[in-house]
Amino acid sequence: MNILVVDDEKLIRDVIREYLEMEGYHVLEAEDGKKALSIFQNNNISLVIMDIMMPVMDGYTACKEIKQIREVPFIMLSARSEEYDKLIGFDLGIDDYVTKPFSPKELVARVKAILKRDNGGNVLSIAGIKIDDLAHEVYVDHELITLTPKEYDLLKFLIKNKNIALSREKLLSSIWGYDFYGDDRTIDTHIKTLRLHLGKYRDIIKTVRGMGYKIEYKEED
C-alpha cells in the first residue's frame, strides 16, 4: 500500500517513512506540493500525509488539486494549531489534522484507523468513485451525486464484481429480482443514466457485446 509523505523538512519525512515502513507500508516522498501532485498522478496512492506550509505549492492548494484527480484520504500536518487552519482543511475534505511536534506512533495509529475505515465493508471505492453504504451515498471526486435506488444498487453490484462480465439477465435477477418481468432495455437505460452521473468516469463501465456490462479497472501496484 502506497503512502505519499509531503513535507519540505527532510528530517520529518525520514521519521515518518521509518515508522510507516516498520508497519509494512511503501512510502513515496515529496518536498513540495507541486512534486506531490506529479507523484500522485503517476502512482496508486492510498493515503497522503501533507504539510501545509511548503514552498512552490502549499498543502491546501496541493490537496485541492489532488482531490480533483481522485478522492484519497488526507492527513494534514502543521506547525500551527489555529482553529482557522483546521476549518480550512476540513472544508477541503481532509480526514485528520496533526499539529507539530507530533508522536510518530500516534500518526501511524491515525493512518491505520483511516485506511481501515476506508477499506471496510461499508465503503467501496474505485478510481474517483466512492460508495458509503452506511449513509447510502455516492461520491464522484468528493462531490455527492444523486442516484435512484436502482442506479445505486446497479453501481454497487458492478463495483463489487469489477472486471467480471455480467449478463443482462444476471443484472436483472440480482438487482430487480427473479420475479421481475423486464427486458434488456431496462438494464441498458439504467446503464446509460448511470454513465451520465459518473461524468469523466463513465467509460469505466464497459459494454460486453452480445452479453452485458462490466466495470473494468486495474489497480496499479
Question: Phi then psi for 96, rounded to 5 degrees?
Answer: -155, 160
In a domain, 135, yes or no: yes
Within a domain: 208: yes
Q: Whole-angstrom Cα distance, residue 119 to residue 73? A: 11
- Domain containing 76 — which CATH number? 3.40.50.2300
Among 118, 146, 161, identify where a domain stops. Answer: 118
The C-alpha cell 507500508 sits at 25
| Residue 165 belongs to some domain of the structure | yes
Residue after which a domain boundary falls, among 118, 140, 173: 118
Domain that holds residue 189: 123-215
Task: Tell me which of 177 and 221 has the higher pLDDT.
Answer: 177
Could you tell me the CA-to-CA distances from 65 to 43, 54, 142, 147, 162 in Å, in that order?
A: 15, 15, 12, 26, 27
Q: What confidence score (pLDDT) does residue 202 get?
A: 94
Residues 138-160 have a mean pLDDT of 90
Buried b (16+ CB within 10 A) or exposed e, 80-93: eeeeebbebbeebb
User: What angle (nearest 5°) sits at the alpha carbon of residue 114, between those of residues 71 and 148?
Assistant: 50
Percent pLDDT > 90 in the chain is: 48
| Beta carbons within 8 Å of 203's beta carbon, 6+ residues apart | 195
Give yes or no: residues 8 and 109 share one domain: yes
Give the pLDDT of residue 161.
87
Q: Is the pLDDT of residue 159 over 80?
A: yes
Share of the chain above pLDDT 70, in %: 90
- Residue 79: the pLDDT is 79
Asked whether residue 20 is assigned to any structural domain, the reply reads yes
pLDDT of residue 149: 84
- Chosen domain end from 95, 118, 141: 118
The pLDDT value given to residue 221: 39
pLDDT band at 217 (very low <50, low <70, confident <90, very high): confident
Q: What is the pLDDT of residues 80-123, one digit of tens each?
A: 766 666 677 777 778 888 888 999 999 999 998 888 766 655 77
* Cell numbers standing for residue 130: 466512492
The verdict on 112 and 133 lying in the same domain is: no
Burial of 153 (0-12, 13-18, 19+ CB in 10 A): middle
CATH number at residue 211: 1.10.10.10
AA identity, residue 31:
E
pLDDT digits (tens, 9 = 90+) for 168-202: 888 888 887 755 555 668 889 999 999 999 999 99
Answer yes or no: are the C-beta atoms of 190 and 147 closer than 8 Å: no
Summarised one tens digit per residue, pLDDT across range 44-92 is 888 999 999 898 999 999 999 998 887 788 999 987 766 666 677 777 7
Q: What is the arithmetic mean of pLDDT over 136-155? A: 89
